[in-house]
Amino acid sequence: MKRRYFMITATAIILLLIVTIIPITSQQTSGEETLTASPHTERQTNLSAIDNEQKLQRFTYDSGLDFDYPDAVRGVYVTGPSAGGEKFNDLVNLIDSSDLNSMVIDIKEDHGNLTVSVPEDSPYSDAAVNYIDDPRAMLEYLEEKGIYPIARVVVFKDSVLAEQRPDLSFTKNGEVWKNNKDEAFVNPFHKEVWEYNLEVAKKAAELGFQEIQFDYVRFPEGFETRDSELDYTQGDYEDEDMSNVKRRVKAVTDFVEYAREELDYYDVDVSVDIFGYTATIEEAPGIGQNFPQIASNVDVISSMIYPSHWTSYFDIEFPDKEPYRTVNEYAKVENKILDQLDEDEKPISRPWLQDFEAPWLYSGSPTEYGKEEVEAQIRALNENGIDEFLLWNAGNNYTENVDYTPID
C-alpha cells in the first residue's frame, strides 16, 4: 500500500530540486555580473542543499526492516503470550503452510497492559507485562519468513490507566466505573489519553510494525443510557454546539484523524476495528462510531462481522448458523457505503471473521465452526470484491486445512 509514502517522496524530490535550482535562477536574473556565483555564494548554496536534503530524508522513519505489502492481507490474531511463547512457532507454521500471510499482534491489549518490556522509568512501566522479551528479534524473524506484521493497540478500554488516573476515566460515587464485565474505559474526550496511546503506537512503528491497528476506538457500549449517571469531563468538546451523541462521534473521529496525522512520519498504515452494525445505521448513539467518518480517515477499515455477534439482522433468524449468508449481506451494505466515499478517502476493507464457536447462544451444542464455516465467510467476502480478512480466535487456536482463497 504505502500510498502516502510515494506522495511524500515525490514531493520531497520536487522540493529538493526547487531548493537547489532557485538560488542559481535568481542570480541569473539580477544582472550579467551575477551569472557566475562567487565561491562564498556557491558554498552557501551547497550547504543549503545538503541541509534541505537531510531534512527531506527525515520526512519518513526507517525502522531498518523491509516488508512487502501482501497481494491481499489474510491474517490471524496473536496475543502477547502467544507471540512470546511456544505457540508462536505453531502460528508461523500455520501461515507457512497456507495462503495466510499476516499477523495482528497485541502490543497494548484489552486490559491496558503492554505486552513488551519498557524501561523502569517509562510512564508505561506499571502497565508492561513483558510477554514478548525481544519484539525486535520477533519482527526480524517475521521479515525473514515474509509474514506481514500489524500491531494491535487497544485504545479506550483500559482498566490499567483508569485505575491509575481516575480523572481520565468515568467515575460513579467517587469510584472508577466498570461495566458488567468488570472492565473500565478511559475518556475519549481527553487529549491526554490520545497522546498516551499514540506514544505506544509510535514505539510499535519504530520497532518495525508496518501497520497500527487501533481497537476499542469508542465509548463503552450503551453509554447513552449511562451518560447522566457518570461523572466525567468533555474537555475541549464541552462548548461544542451539538448533542452529546454528536460530541462523542466527533471525539472518536477526531482521534482517528489525529492518529493518522501523527503516524504519517513513520510510514505505517493506520487501521481501525469497528462494530459491524455501525455500517447499518447513521451512527451508533452510545459508542460514538460513525462508519463513513472513521472509514474516510484510515487506510484500512476492519469491521467485526462475526456471525455470532449479530442478532436477527438481514432477515436472518439465527446468523451464527448461516455464516455465508450473514457475511454476504453485510458485505453488500459496507460496499454501498464505501462506494460513496471519494476515491482518495476510500480505505481497504479487511473484516474480522469468526474462527470460534459461540456456546452462549445455544441451549444445546453450538454450531461448530470449522473448515466449512470459515471458508463460507471468506467466499462471501470474495464474491463481493473483498479480498482481505482477519481471523479471530481469542486463544489463537485456528482451524486447520482451510482454503483461504476459495474462489481463486
- Domain parsing of the chain, residue ranges: 3-57, 74-392
pLDDT grade for 101, boundaries at 50, 70 and 90:
very high
| d(C-alpha 379, C-alpha 387), whole Å | 9
314: left (phi over 0), alpha (psi -120 to 50) or beta: left
The proportion of the chain whose per-residue pLDDT surpasses 70, expressed as a percent, equals: 86
pLDDT grade for 231, boundaries at 50, 70 and 90:
very high
Q: Given this model, what pLDDT does residue 51 score?
A: 55
Q: C-alpha dihedral over 151, 157, 161, 164, to 10 degrees?
A: -160
- Tell how strand 269-275 and strand 352-354 pair up: unpaired
pLDDT tens-digit map of 161-177: 999 999 999 999 999 99
Spatial CB neighbours of 157, under 8 Å, sequence gap ≥ 6:
110, 112, 183, 184, 185, 216, 220
**What is the pTM for the complete model shown?**
0.86
Is the distance from CB of 225 to CB of 286 less than 8 angstroms? yes
**Helix, strand or coil for residue 197?**
helix
pLDDT grade for 4, boundaries at 50, 70 and 90:
very low
**Helix, strand or coil for residue 29?**
coil
How many CB atoms lie under 10 A from the CB of residue 145? 12
Q: Which of 31-35, 156-160, 213-217 has the lowest mean pLDDT?
A: 31-35
| d(C-alpha 203, C-alpha 63), whole Å | 10
Q: C-alpha dihedral over 266, 127, 91, 206, to 10 degrees?
A: 20
Spatial CB neighbours of 29, under 8 Å, sequence gap ≥ 6:
none
| d(C-alpha 311, C-alpha 27), whole Å | 73
Half-sphere exposure at residue 25, Cβ-oriented, CA atoms within 13 angstroms: 6
Q: Which of 56-60, 298-302, 319-323 has the lowest mean pLDDT?
A: 56-60
pLDDT of 19 > 80? The answer is: no
| d(C-alpha 48, C-alpha 23), whole Å | 10
Between 312 and 205, the more confident residue is: 205
Is the distance from CB of 322 to CB of 307 less than 8 angstroms? yes
| d(C-alpha 340, C-alpha 361), whole Å | 35
Sequence letter at residue 221: E
Identify the CATH assignment for 74-392 out of 3.40.1190.20, 3.30.300.30, 3.90.226.10, 3.20.20.80: 3.20.20.80
pLDDT tens-digit map of 269-281: 999 999 999 999 9
Here the contacts of 243-248 (C-beta below 8 Å, separation 24 or greater) are: 245/283, 245/285, 245/288, 247/189, 248/188, 248/219, 248/223, 248/286, 248/287, 248/288
pLDDT grade for 52, boundaries at 50, 70 and 90:
low
pLDDT grade for 323, boundaries at 50, 70 and 90:
very high
Q: What share of the chain is helix, strand, coil (3-state, %, to 5)?
A: 45, 15, 40
pLDDT of 249 > 80? The answer is: yes
Q: Given this model, what pLDDT does residue 408 score?
A: 77
Among 2, 163, 167, 166, smallest CA distance to 68 is for 2
Q: Given this model, what pLDDT does residue 120 score?
A: 87
**Termini Cα distance of the chain:** 21
| d(C-alpha 56, C-alpha 52), whole Å | 6
Buried b (16+ CB within 10 A) or exposed e, 103-129: bbbbbbbbebbbbbbbeeeeebeebbb
Among 146, 69, 76, smallest CA distance to 104 is for 76
Average pLDDT, the chain: 89
Q: Given this model, what pLDDT does residue 27 score?
A: 35
**CA distance to 290, 291, 300, 305, 391, per residue, from 274 (Å):** 9, 8, 11, 9, 15
Q: C-alpha dihedral over 183, 273, 243, 337, to 10 degrees?
A: -150
Q: Given this model, what pLDDT does residue 48 score?
A: 53
**CA distance to 51, 312, 339, 381, per residue, from 333 (Å):** 51, 16, 10, 12
pLDDT grade for 21, boundaries at 50, 70 and 90:
very low
| d(C-alpha 275, C-alpha 302), whole Å | 9
| d(C-alpha 128, C-alpha 199), whole Å | 14
